[in-house]
Amino acid sequence: MSLVVNGERHVLTVDNRTSLLNLLREQLALPGTKKGCDAGACGACTVLVDGQRVNACLMLAVRLEGAEVTTIEGLAADDDDELHPLQQAFVEQDAFQCGFCTPGQIMSGIGCMQEGHTGSQEEIREWMSGNICRCGCYVKIVNAIQQAGNGK
């Protein structure tokens, strides 16, 4: 199969049971996407597929022929490592503790912004409800998404 990950095309042989999450972490050596529950319940594995946020643990890699996948490793600008505005907002708002959920929170937050769901803190909470943070950083995560979503 062939797919594009973070702008780079890959031609791969995959087992038909391989999840997108395992493909990224084990075959493409992109461990930024985290495995929390491996069952669609925590959001730690969130990536963008053709611009839409998905749980990579629930998606079979073989379904992604020709798809464009973006992971946390693909966000910063290549030339000068400039952070994506939402990555920068997470830093400025101190929106993490252990950081395990953070890649998924950021990828889901980008989806939330692209979908136009950053009108209020309540709206952000609703549309980010699939992303769990064991450290309880929700207030700061919402602040970061609101900051980036408003372009501040």
Contacting residues toward ligand FES, per CB under 6 A = 35-38, 40-45, 55, 57, 96-102, 133-135, 137
DSSP symbols for 60-116: BGGGGTT-EEE-GGGSS-TTT-PPPHHHHHHHHHT--SS-SSHHHHHHHHHHHHHTT
Helix (H, G, I), strand (E, B) or coil at 49: strand
Q: How far is the CB of 79 from ligand FES (least distance, A)?
A: 29
Give how far the C-alpha of residue 68 lies from the chain's centroid of Cα atoms, to the nearest Å. 14
CA–CA separation, 127 and 58 (whole Å)? 19
Q: How far is the CB of 19 from ligand FES (least distance, A)?
A: 9
| Token pair for 69 | 């996948």
Are the CB atoms for 59 and 20 separated by under 8 Å?
yes
Q: Kindly tell me which of 38 and 68 has the beta carbon lying closer to ligand FES.
A: 38
Q: How far is the CB of 138 from ligand FES (least distance, A)?
A: 9
Q: Kindly tell me which of 37 and 91 has the beta carbon lying closer to ligand FES.
A: 37
Strands 68-70 and 2-5: parallel
Q: Kindly tell me which of 94 and 116 has the beta carbon lying closer to ligand FES.
A: 94
Q: Kindly tell me which of 5 and 144 has the beta carbon lying closer to ligand FES.
A: 144
Q: How far is the CB of 128 from ligand FES (least distance, A)?
A: 12
